[in-house]
Amino acid sequence: MLAEMIQRLFERSLDDKAQTRAKDGEWLGDLWGEVAEMGLPLALLSEDQGGFGLSPAEQGEALRLMGLYAVPLPVVETMGANRLLAKAGLALADGPAGLARADDLAVSGSKLTGTIARVAWGDSLDCLALAVGDTLYRVPRAGWTIAEPGTSANFHPRPTLRIDWAIDASAPLPHCPLAEGATLRAFQIAGALEAALDMTLDHTATRVQFGKPLQKNQVVQHELAKLAGELACATAAADLAAEALERADVLGVAAGTLRAREAAGAGASIAAQMHGAIGFTREHRLHLYTTALWTWRDEFGGQVGWAKLLGAAALEAGGAGFWPMVTEL
Amino acid sequence: MSAIPFPAPPADSAEVLALRTEFRAFLARQLEGRTPRQRSDNWYGYDRAFSRAMGQAGYLGMTWPKQYGGHERSAFERAVVVEECLAAGAPVGAHWIADRQSGPSILKFGTEEQRQSFLPRIAAGELSFGIGMSEPDSGSDLAATRTKAVRDGDVYRVTGTKVWTSFAHEADFAILFCRTSGTPADRHNGTSQLLLDLKHTPGLTIKPIIDHAGQHHFNEMHLEEAVVPASMLLGEEGQGWDQVMSELAFERSGPERFLSSIELLVQLIEVLKGRDSEAAQITLGRVTARLAVLRRLSRSVAAMLQEKQNAGLQAAIVKDVGALFEQGLPDIARELVDQEPDPRAAGAYASVLANIVHNAPSWSLRGGTREILRGIIARGLGTR
């Protein structure tokens, strides 16, 4: 039911013009207002935390829709920040919120200072759920300035923030914001790949070359099958990461995020190739998804960092311990 | 929405967790002294004694009704046993095909007499099966089958040739896909399945086909007016196509579609131990992620089977993605460790590498080629 509401909202209020305005740097305040009114920022909270008490399947569906519509707002980041803040017993965000980890920030006396690179929509957030070491801080907007602008591959703001804040809200860290963010991105990747597959099926069914739809060519059918495989892997990877996050298993999150990142690259490449030159333009909607996939696969920790974490654990487990480790993921 | 749905597998129940612990202990006892090279044979390992031990311990025919020697356990419990066998490199060849596809086909289509005759012996690990589908002129194009069975009173007289029959020289029976009326031009119509006794059928000769590694798994089965009792007809005469598609669905659904080269990964980790570079960590991390996600997809298929849903499309995806994964491991290993493959090496790593390099091409052929599977997936996406 929530899924239907989300679909109706974005079908109604997020058209291609709005997507372009967002890429040109505009904050879609009206759309955020509708998102907030629907209660989406609280979607991952249990009922006693003030949320909807959604099942894991319902949560996954809602999160995938944020990718399927390439929503140009920090909706999943706010959902994740609120989940983290609620778990830590800190006040929830009053507006859009960010997720970050910055272990090199200086904590001296009651002040937190330093910079955090590339925070999604860092100039438009109400607060930041920020981990430093084992502590979670709820940093309000007044606690930072923009040190340097930055832009994602899909042309959304990723500024570097200069934190200078007198600490007044902190708690022991429930789980890592990077694991939270990487898990949410995996769902967005799955959603964007679903949109890319839908579009690719549609394009290859209607585009006629050599007197027949592209889709009648076996080589095209096989690429579509591969894309469906990447989509299946991304969806399963997101679910795997979410279950691992629930039990605070960072290795399971690593496995999920890594495979979703891989699917993002492989899937975007197939969709782009199957669309031909039109897929390389802003005239066709595919670019909303390819550029988002190239963005999301590198955020909340890099691929190298996550792979080293999981790979070191596999090597540590040794030959005999490897399979038992896999069955625990 | 075009996504092919994979339902989330349920969390392991207490029974499943207990079974995994118990079964790992069973395997540790059974496989003591089995070398890495032997383990790397995966389900090409053939050992009647091991299969009997599996049957005696209740690990075969796990989901079948007790009245046929089964154990009425869940698809998840069977999946645990299957994946643990593969991960440990157990020699499952003597029961593999019977437990995976022949038995389930007999349970689904067989007469009461056939069920009572065959299933308890399969569940006991005593009856070994081969597959009787491919022919010299009919591989991926299974409907072009030419092997002809002509009814003559109480028997069929069967003439034709089957190829790539793994373990026909060892196994007791095979389910033979053949034509009981018409010609290959009739395609799906007029086909049937017969339970073929590989040890006692007059007119049947079995010859080895040696693979490129010099090993004898495959055989050619030639039937010249071979006599098969009419009581060995499986299911209905003329319904062979639907039945063989159902059999292939059993064949394609399991975790053997991404675990064939797991022993290479195990040995690679052993070789890298103590000298693990950053490159090794990164590579191992990505490989582990792929494996974990494939395993989850495979568990989704088990969840669908448990709910009696048709998982044909999902199984095709797991097999297609899985084959790429397991075939990719030799190159991944080669990026991390310099080692020439040597099939006769005493050392574990060189001999396992050779065995996996040799066998890898078969993984996207057996059970439906990559090309056939992608056609099935594309059709599932509505493209034709």
DSSP, residue by residue, B190-247: TEEEEEEESSS-TTEEEEEE--TTS---EEEEEEEEEEEEGGGEES-TTBHHHHHHHH
**Residue A94 domain flag:** yes
The angle, 0 to 180 degrees and rounded to 10, between the axes of the packed helices A177-206 and A56-68 is: 60
Q: Does B328 touch chain A (CB under 8 A)?
A: no
In the three-class reduction of DSSP (H, G, I as helix; E, B as strand; rest coil), residue B373 is classed as helix
pLDDT tens column, A217-227: 999 999 999 99
Beta bridge partners of B226: B158
The DSSP secondary-structure symbol of B229 reads: E
Amino acid identity, residue A173?
L
Cβ-defined contact of A194 to B3 (cutoff 8 Å): yes
Cβ-defined contact of A311 to B288 (cutoff 8 Å): yes
**Residue A161 domain flag:** yes
Residue A106 and residue A47 share a domain: yes
In chain B, domain spans: 14-127, 131-239, 253-380
- Sign for the CA dihedral angle at B176, B180, B186, B189 comes to negative
Superfamily of B14-127 according to CATH: Acyl-CoA dehydrogenase/oxidase, N-terminal domain (1.10.540.10)
**Residue A279 domain flag:** yes
Partner A, chain B 293-312, Cβ-Cβ below 8 Å: 293-297, 300
Residue length, chain A? 329
Residue A222 and residue A113 share a domain: no
Q: Tell me which chain A residue has its CA closest to the CA of residue B89.
A: A323
Distance CA(A122)–CA(A119), nearest Å, equals 5
Q: Does B289 touch chain A (CB under 8 A)?
A: yes
A87 min Cα distance to partner chain B (Å): 23
Cβ-defined contact of B269 to A319 (cutoff 8 Å): yes
Residue A88 near residue A173 (C-beta atoms within 8 A):
yes
Domains B14-127 and B253-380 share a fold: no
Domain B253-380 in CATH 2.60.40.10? The answer is no
Residue A208 and residue A79 share a domain: no
Cβ-defined contact of B273 to A262 (cutoff 8 Å): no
Residue A67: CB atoms within 10 A of its CB come to: 29
Residue A188 and residue A283 share a domain: yes
CB contacts of A57 in chain B (<8 Å) are: 8
Predicted local distance difference test score (pLDDT) of residue B309: 87
Distance CA(A116)–CA(A169), nearest Å, equals 18
Distance CA(A236)–CA(A257), nearest Å, equals 10
Predicted local distance difference test score (pLDDT) of residue B37: 95
Domain boundary among A113, A148, A172: A172
Predicted local distance difference test score (pLDDT) of residue A242: 98
Q: Give how many domains chain A has, as a whole number.
A: 2
Q: Does B281 touch chain A (CB under 8 A)?
A: yes
Residue A222 and residue A198 share a domain: yes
Residue B319: CB atoms within 10 A of its CB come to: 29
Cβ-defined contact of A224 to B378 (cutoff 8 Å): yes
Cβ-defined contact of B288 to A327 (cutoff 8 Å): no
CB contacts of B383 in chain A (<8 Å) are: 201, 204-205, 215, 221, 224
Continuous segment of H or E residues that includes residue A139: strand A135-140
Amino acid identity, residue A112?
L
Please identify which residue in the block is written with the tokens 């595919």: A286
- Half-sphere exposure of A279 toward its Cβ, with a 13 Å CA cutoff? 21
CATH number at residue A19: 2.40.110.10
In 3D, which of B260, B285, B261 has the Cα closest to residue B272? B285
Residue ranges in chain B modelled with pLDDT below 70: 1, 253, 384
B260 min Cα distance to partner chain A (Å): 13
Residue A275 and residue A134 share a domain: no
Domain B131-239 in CATH 1.10.3720.10? The answer is no
Q: Does A204 touch chain B (CB under 8 A)?
A: yes
Residue A146 and residue A203 share a domain: no
Residue B334: CB atoms within 10 A of its CB come to: 14
B39 min Cα distance to partner chain A (Å): 13
B286 min Cα distance to partner chain A (Å): 6
Distance CA(B199)–CA(B167), nearest Å, equals 12
CATH number at residue A269: 1.20.140.10
Predicted local distance difference test score (pLDDT) of residue B1: 59
- Helix segments in chain B, DSSP class H: 14-30, 36-39, 48-56, 75-88, 93-97, 103-109, 112-123, 240-252, 262-272, 278-306, 312-336, 348-359, 370-380
Residue length, chain B? 384
Cβ-defined contact of B375 to A307 (cutoff 8 Å): no
Cα distances (angstroms) measured from residue A180 to each of A219, A243, B168: 39, 11, 53
CB contacts of B336 in chain A (<8 Å) are: none
In the three-class reduction of DSSP (H, G, I as helix; E, B as strand; rest coil), residue A9 is classed as helix
This prediction's pTM: 0.95
Q: Does B21 touch chain A (CB under 8 A)?
A: no
Predicted local distance difference test score (pLDDT) of residue B173: 98
In the three-class reduction of DSSP (H, G, I as helix; E, B as strand; rest coil), residue A40 is classed as helix
Continuous segment of H or E residues that includes residue A306: helix A303-328
Phi and psi, residue A51, nearest 5°: -100, -160
**Residue A327 domain flag:** no
CB contacts of A221 in chain B (<8 Å) are: 374-375, 378, 383-384
Cβ-defined contact of B272 to A315 (cutoff 8 Å): yes
In 3D, which of A25, A3, A6 has the Cα closest to residue A14? A6
Cβ-defined contact of B284 to A310 (cutoff 8 Å): yes
Distance CA(A311)–CA(B38), nearest Å, equals 26
Domain span at A139: 2-172
CB contacts of B4 in chain A (<8 Å) are: 228, 231-232
Beta bridge partners of B253: none
Distance CA(B235)–CA(A123), nearest Å, equals 69
Partner B, chain A 289-328, Cβ-Cβ below 8 Å: 303-304, 306-312, 314-315, 317-320, 322-327
Q: Does B285 touch chain A (CB under 8 A)?
A: yes
Phi and psi, residue A98, nearest 5°: -120, 165
Residue A231 and residue A139 share a domain: no
Residue A168 and residue A197 share a domain: no
**Residue A39 domain flag:** yes
Q: Does B66 touch chain A (CB under 8 A)?
A: no
Compare CB distances from B282 to A218, A262, A311 and report the shortest one's residue.
A311
Please identify which residue in the block is written with the tokens 């690259």: A265
Cβ-defined contact of A322 to B269 (cutoff 8 Å): yes
Residue ranges in chain A modelled with pLDDT below 70: none
**Residue A326 domain flag:** no
Residue A268: which region, alpha, beta or left (left: phi > 0; alpha: psi -120 to 50)?
alpha
**Residue A324 domain flag:** no
**Residue A76 domain flag:** yes
Domain boundary among A142, A172, A202: A172
Q: Which two tokens stand for residue B5?
A: 């749905």
In the three-class reduction of DSSP (H, G, I as helix; E, B as strand; rest coil), residue B138 is classed as strand
Inter-chain contacts counted by CB atoms under 8 A, chains A and B? 178
Cβ-defined contact of A326 to B288 (cutoff 8 Å): yes
Residue B72: which region, alpha, beta or left (left: phi > 0; alpha: psi -120 to 50)?
left
Distance CA(A261)–CA(B222), nearest Å, equals 50
Domain boundary among A156, A172, A188: A172
Q: Which two tokens stand for residue B375?
A: 């056609």
Residue B103 near residue B97 (C-beta atoms within 8 A):
no
The DSSP secondary-structure symbol of B135 reads: B
Q: Which two tokens stand for residue A46?
A: 């249990």
The angle, 0 to 180 degrees and rounded to 10, between the axes of the packed helices B240-252 and B312-336 is: 40
Predicted local distance difference test score (pLDDT) of residue B384: 66
